[in-house]
Chain A
Amino acid sequence: MLEITDLTHSYGDHTVLEKTSLTVPDGELVSIVGPSGCGKSTLLRCVAGLISPVGGRVVLDGTPIDGVPDGLAVVFQDYSRSLLPWLTVRDNVALPLRRRGGSKAERRAAAEEALSSVGLHGAGRRYPWQLSGGMQQRVAIARALAYRPSLLLMDEPFGSVDAQTREDLEDLVLKVHRDEGMTILLVTHDIDESVYVGDRVVVLGRDPGGIRAELEVKLPSPRDQISTRADPDFVRLRTEVSRLVRGAGALEVPSEAAAEPQKESEPREEDTEET
């Protein structure tokens, strides 16, 4: 169980998250969606222990997060920088497994198995830069899977791949979630994606950043790119989320703050991610 209580974080005097609380029971897949600059990546990085929040706390399975917790894996958006180009695909997947123990042969076998489960059987001897973007992101997912996390964080994982690959990878995440049953937090700015993959959609707003709404997604499983997206419930949910995200971006802020233009120099976390 992941419990986020009154999480507050700011860059300089720009508050990106204010008093945000969220509880995620084990095994749930939560999509976090919101306009850019709403603090969704910051939220994820606080949970990952990569940044210490200014206020509030994150507790994972009863243990407050202070530094990167053990059973946690992250799939970053920028696979080309997150995978190490000097290691083969298999070694990239096997590298974190040293911490889990086991012989070198066992670690390699685990890496090959994880690669097979993401549809990359036999690609282990290649280097990441020999693969297409979608395949590289599959390698990053395999690396996270082989690590056997109880909590998997995905930070806009499909933001840099084309539409077709994106749908394939969404289905891969759903399959992984069905098979492994770990808790997944998936940050996205794609409203359709948030509804399609999520058991629950959390909508964040900005200025100040925080949760605007939480919506249960009760769509039949397994989900399907064609029929699920045509489901009236899906259409209703995506419309609602869309309205919330738009509202979260523009409304619900004091008119004075809304009139003030965003300062360019402020490190909005979306920008620092995507360079």
Chain B
Amino acid sequence: MTDVLVDAPAERGIGHAVRRGLSGVAQLWLLAVIVAVWEVWTRTAGSPSFPPPSQILKELWDLYFSGPADHFFLTEQARTDFAPSLKNLFTGWALAGVAGVVLGLAIGRFRVAGLIVLPPLHFLRSIPPPTLIPFLLAVLDIGTPLQVTTIVFGVVWPVLLNTIDGVRSVDRLQLETARVFGITGARRLFRVVLPSAAPKIFAGLRVSLGFALILMVISELVGFGQGIGAHIIDAQHSFEMTQMWAGIVLLGILGCLFNLVFHLVERWALAWHGAARRNR
């Protein structure tokens, strides 16, 4: 019997799940030890600049997550700090994502355009985005436009370069198949080129999301605006070290959360990719 159906998950059985579970526990175990050492050390040292993690978590709780149930337990402070930060972050990331994919498709598709456009793009990419802030402060109002512009300029590059790479490395045979069967224009773009480039585009978007969080905070730290970063700098100015630490820990948690959600979305959207590679 040669025509046997091969099911993707069959080879990833219980052993795999157990190993994954164990490695998860192992990671958490290390984290717990680090936090415990941190707690003991800061309590012994008693420095006001280094509050113990238990205090930081309590501060974080009181500041942001002790609100009423009908507001998802978010406090008033959480809404005033989170809303502008997350709005800027996701607006910037989304704009950069769209711009990166559209430009990347155009540049990747037309080789000559790529030859002309890529050198200046590589130069622009090499400029550290925060250095643009002094210039932007001069021409833009403090607040959303400045922050979103900073984020877009900083995070468009991974998406753009990965899209170019993805579009250029579409399998030749897939393109020939499209030609033979008269799949052209928009259908070719959406059914062949974009899906084929999707794994690379997603990789770019994931890197961009991390950068976007960094640039969001930087723009808030120097932009005298609102948001989590502004709260951190305000707390530092008023020597509220525990509140400052609460903001730092919160950003770490947000970073992990974004990564996790993105990972799940990517796994779902590119299910074919992982499975096809395993079965090849």
Contacts and interface: CB of A to CB of B under 8 A. Distances in A.
Contacts of B187: 95, 98
B5 interface: yes
A162 interface: yes
A80 interface: yes
Given A70-B182, A84-B195, A50 B2 contact: no
Interface string A69-110: 010111010101110111100000001101100000000000
A234 interface: no
A95 B181 contact: yes
A85 B174 CA distance: 10
A127 B179 contact: no
A132 B181 contact: no
Contacts, number: 89
Counting chain B CB atoms within 10 Å of each CB, the highest count among A48, A80, A84, A143 belongs to A84
Given A127-B275, A129-B280, A68 B179 contact: yes
Given A129-B279, A129-B280, A134 B179 contact: no
A131 B6 contact: yes
- How many B residues are at the interface, by size bracket? 20 to 34
A72 B2 CA distance: 30
A253 B232 CA distance: 82
B2 A80 contact: no
B177 A82 contact: yes
Contacts of B5: 126, 130-132, 135
Interface string A122-150: 00001111111011000000010001000
A221 interface: no
A134 B4 CA distance: 9
A76 B173 contact: yes
A164 interface: yes
B57 interface: no
Nearest to B278: A129
Interface in A153-200: 161-162, 164-165, 168
Contacts of A73: 180-181
Contact of B191 (A48, A76, A87): A87
B180 A48 contact: yes
A81 B174 contact: yes
Interface size class of A (residues with CB under 8 A): 35 or more
B171 A96 contact: no
A128 B137 CA distance: 54
A126 B2 CA distance: 18
Interface string B70-104: 00000000000000000000000000000000000
A86 to B, nearest CB: 4
Interface in B149-179: 171, 173-174, 176-177, 179
A96 B279 contact: no
A129 B191 contact: no
Interface in A54-76: 68, 70, 72-74, 76
29 contacts: A68-B182, A73-B180, A76-B177, A81-B171, A85-B272, A86-B195, A86-B196, A86-B198, A86-B273, A95-B187, A95-B191, A96-B183, A99-B182, A127-B275, A128-B276, A129-B276, A129-B280, A130-B5, A130-B6, A130-B275, A130-B279, A131-B5, A132-B3, A132-B6, A134-B2, A134-B3, A143-B181, A147-B181, A165-B3
Interface of B: 2-8, 171, 173-174, 176-177, 179-183, 187, 191-192, 195-196, 198, 272-273, 275-276, 279-280
Q: 5 tightest CB-CB pairs across the interface, nearest first?
A: A96-B181, A85-B276, A129-B276, A81-B173, A86-B195
Given A85-B273, A131-B5, A143-B181, 15 more contacts: A81-B174, A82-B177, A84-B195, A86-B195, A86-B273, A95-B183, A96-B183, A98-B183, A99-B182, A129-B6, A129-B272, A130-B8, A132-B2, A134-B2, A168-B2
